[in-house]
Amino acid sequence: MNDKFRIVLKDRLLPVQVFFNAIPDRSFIETLKAFGNATGAGFNDAFCGFPGEEDFDEEPLNGIEFAVKGEEVIIGYDEFFSILEEVCNVYSEKHPNETELVQGLLFDVKEKLNSL
């Protein structure tokens, strides 16, 4: 895999790919912690949002929203978690000393998704 990108996804998931590839390594653990609290994040022009973070005049989210430069996609929890697992595996390969922490945070995210 190209070291420049964590993941490469299908065209329809471009905002998801851009978001995950935009997370700086120094912010990865904090982003996982936020996901465990059903809180999204933004890096550069890429954004990820969870249900409950919508503005009062927006429709409630039925999944996880990703947006980049006007292009948006909402994916289901299972698809989100599958992609997140892949991203965590790539991160852990580069940072093996943080693998246990990443796996624990990934578990927290799964628990939170199950409660949404």
Domain of 22, in residue numbers: 11-115
Q: Is position 5 within any domain?
A: no
Question: E-strand spans in the chain?
Answer: 41-43, 46-49, 64-68, 71-75
Exposure on the CB side of residue 95, measured as CA atoms within 13 A? 18
31 is a domain residue? yes
Return the pLDDT at 56: 60
Domain membership of residue 21 (yes or no) is yes
- Which residues of the chain, if any, have pLDDT below 50? 1-2
**Taking the CA atoms of the chain, what radius of gyration do you get in angstroms?**
14
The token duo for 98 is 């943080």
Name 47's Cβ contacts closer than 8 Å, sequence gap at least 6: 19, 40, 41, 65, 66, 67, 68
Residue 47 located in a structural domain: yes
- How much is the pLDDT for 61? 80
pLDDT given at position 11: 85
**How would you classify the pairing of strands 64-68 and 46-49?**
antiparallel
In a domain, 58, yes or no: yes
Q: How many domains does the chain have?
A: 1
Query: pTM for the full model?
Result: 0.90
In a domain, 6, yes or no: no
The pLDDT of residue 16 is 96
Residue 55: predicted pLDDT: 61
d(CA 40, CA 27): 13
User: Is 53 inside any structural domain?
Assistant: yes
